[in-house]
Chains A and B, each alone.
Chain A
């Protein structure tokens, strides 16, 4: 038999086991499957490959992709080309972690449980919130879960959202709300930042929550002070989505009165992987912890009084509460949360700040060089590691052409906003060099000189 690589039992074992069962042949185990529902012939799949052939085939497919290994990647929009240190991939590659299941049996899952507790602790510190859960699928579903959580708590039906949030994440919020009657009302995005007065004017007595992202989709820091002040005392829950790599230099959501902080944690030690697995996180105050979706690990003691960990507050969860659970989530992104925990240990206090300053400095350098050529960022305002630039020509074509120069030039915005079809969103991680940025700048300058000349 081909393809038989992961089966310990021999033909003799199978025969002996069938005898022990009291079956003459394998088909005797299929008595409860009506004959008419059984496959006649075999599956129409290609014949089995050896491991070498499979690696060769997949290696060929991998080679067809313009990866950040071979190209200078200026693409962001929610997935970033940060360096993943060796210690992170080494720990996440340990079978003790990756071949374990959800830690329901605490006595033999302390490794996973403690690492999740440490993740929760670090995410709480990063966001300034009191508690975090064990992870969600990605930044978009984290936002959607936060909105559902807030609507559930407020029992109201209106969501006021910044129009400058990542449109892919907004799309997921809208999909998740299809099952209910809630509506999302959005502010404008004309200036590339959210106007606090727009938020204030949209909030009314039906509003359950306000959600803002900072840095936003266009890379700009929102005026969270003013927005926080605008929603304060309005009896709404304030949800802030953040880029965790910005939090070494920027104030955390808690500083602006956020009730729920969410975000995308891919940047924390997880490769881009063509968009997944990513790492969603959600953190809140102790007051709201019983409404959090997903798993939470708590510290406790064992029968001898020694410290240890276990899953806690499980009565919120689907396997206990069923249709009244706070969410349907079960499997989440535990291994990615582990990577983030190792990564944050590796960076530490000083590393997180230096990482943020490095990204900021590289992005600022690019903006300065463009400005020297008379090309201004599309939107005025303070940016962290990403900004939009108007190329004056179609951005999709520009990105295709830039591939020939070994550059993944950025994310064209026309797919999301037809009025921005000449705009490119460019991102700068610590991996980018001055030489690479100089090539990008010269390509942009050569493209037509930009539509937003000073």
Chain B
């Protein structure tokens, strides 16, 4: 595989892969239908290649990727767990994949049942009252939730200005708040990495529309004072939004609905085991408490007299957030996962993800600093700060891990930990894998002492050597 050689480079005039039906109707010349100015002049510039060449090109590209089916992928906050193969099979059933979104409800009962029932299961898991499954990803869910906050305050007769966000939050949180027209205000974490109710009081007031909390937070810690926090926010007239990206830690153990959370989004492509696809498609359902049900987007999926239907008029709905109903095929996979896990399996996800994360933490904490705590939930954040003295940065450690066959953890996040390495093993990894990853980290910490240049020059045996990202930003070659 010559990286950088594209299908366009391989194009040769006269080659073709396509076959199309030739219907028995008169062929219409576009020039006889459209004004000459609307007709394309000259070629598009698409590749002309044969199917065997397409297969070889993309298969050879594919094997350049690290992926979950190949080896460990401990990206913090991303929950890179195994994606059950059955999910791909059921979502590809023609009755689902070949279904047009506008067929009458009477002819789409199976699809509507999946959407409704996966929603009910997610409500039970989160302890919430109702849900929309339409958001296409986590950030889309955040925006949907924030627009509901906006609609809620509008309905109360007074709009508010600010949304509070702890300093450990995902970058999508402040960005989503901004799109929804709110000003985000950063709230510092306390010395133990958690929100302090006493300090939070200083930020609350009648201009605060909501607080956005990730729980467990991005340090991998449960927000122990969550109940006091939600009470304080409610007393000041605000709402509590929970970013549920880290729900893997809480499945069957604890529920946002019991914390006093008003709105929570989930990431089906994290917690519910649907694949990440190299960056999507995901799915970011948003579950709400009763007082926010009228604001859910349309169409609203409901069940009446034993039949499922799409309701196009719904209370004080924020309106439509997707052309149709979201990433349906992802919901099919998640529903399959939930019905196969059952209540005990769902809880075991959280149990094993906690055991795996704490085990890995115990194995590496003598070599890497872990600033916040001896124990964690589903992930923990280590710091490579002490290696700076040897001229080695966290990014170098990340690249060196690739030489050992592992995907690096999330790096330089959360921002409140210097030289951060955010490690989330998930429940689908074996003890043996965790041991070999821990041994690689320990080995690298030894290499940093004995041969720092080896680490700084990593990776050495990957498909390409260290990539010049600054060069990409300078040359801006983004299309051929």
- Once the chains are docked, how many angstroms separate the CA of A222 from the CA of B449? 68
**A interface residues, tally (CB under 8 Å):** 213
Of B100-108, B200-208, B232-240, B381-389, the one touching chain A: B100-108
Q: Does A306 contact B (CB under 8 A)?
A: yes
Q: Does B125 contact A (CB under 8 A)?
A: yes
Could you say which residues of chain A place their CB within 8 Å of the CB of B90? 54-55, 58-59, 62
Which of B39, B73, B178, B354 has a CB less than 8 Å from the CB of A323? B178
Chain B residues with CB under 8 A of A374: none
B121 to chain A: closest residue by CB? A45
Residue A281 interfacial (CB < 8 Å): no
Contact A348/B322 with A114-B6, A248-B44 known, Cβ cut-off 8 Å: no
How far is it, in angstroms, between the C-alpha of A356 and the C-alpha of B38 when the chains are bound? 14
Q: Is A29 an interface residue (CB 8 A)?
A: yes
How many chain B residues touch A (Cβ–Cβ < 8 Å)? Answer: 205
Instruction: State which residues 326-360 of A face B: CB under 8 Å.
Output: 327-336, 338, 341-342, 344-352, 354-358, 360
Interface contacts beyond A43-B346, A44-B343, A98-B277: sample of 18 additional A-B pairs, CB < 8 Å, sorted by A = A21-B362, A29-B355, A29-B377, A43-B124, A64-B110, A110-B463, A121-B479, A141-B136, A141-B322, A175-B319, A179-B180, A276-B327, A277-B281, A277-B329, A334-B279, A335-B281, A345-B49, A355-B20
A37-B254, A94-B59, A101-B78 are contacts. A297–B84 as well, Cβ < 8 Å?
A: no
Residue of B39, B86, B358, B476 touching A54 (CB-CB under 8 A): B86
Residues 100-140 of chain A, each 1 if its beta carbon lies under 8 Å from chain B, else 0: 11110111111110110110111011100011101101111
Would you call B347 an interface residue if the criterion is a C-beta within 8 Å of the partner chain's C-beta atoms? yes
Cβ–Cβ contact B324 & A125, under 8 A = no
Question: Across the interface, do B138 and A330 meet the contact criterion of CB distance under 8 Å?
Answer: yes
Residue of A nearest to B298 (CB): A171
Q: How far is the CA of A275 from the CA of B103 in the complex (A)?
A: 11
Instruction: Indicate if the CB atoms of B329 and A20 lie closer than 8 Å.
Output: no
Is the Cβ of B323 less than 8 Å from the Cβ of A300? no
Shortest CB-to-CB span from A83 to chain B, Å, is 8
Are the C-beta atoms of B469 and A300 separated by less than 8 Å? yes
CB distance from A23 to the nearest CB of B (A): 7
Closest Cβ–Cβ distance, residue A196 to chain B (whole Å): 13
Give the CA-CA distance A312 to B474 in the complex, in Å. 9
B442 at the interface (CB under 8 A from A): no
Please determine whether A65 and B108 come into contact, CB atoms closer than 8 angstroms: yes
| Interface: A296 (CB within 8 A) | yes
Please determine whether A109 and B66 come into contact, CB atoms closer than 8 angstroms.
yes
Are B258 and A299 closer than 8 Å at their CB atoms?
no
A312 to B142: give the CA distance in the assembly, Å.
Answer: 24
Interface residues of B in 105-129 (CB under 8 A from A): 106-111, 113-114, 121, 124-125
- Whether A102 lies near B342 (C-beta < 8 A) is no
Chain A positions within 8 Å of B398 at CB level: 105
**Which residue in A64, A318, A331, A355 is a CB contact (below 8 Å) of B282?**
A331
User: Which residues in chain B, 221-245, are within 8 Å of chain A measured between CB atoms?
Assistant: 221-222, 224, 226-227
Is A448 part of the binding interface, using a Cβ–Cβ cutoff of 8 Å?
no
Q: Mark A148-162, 1 if CB is under 8 A from B, else 0.
A: 100000000000000
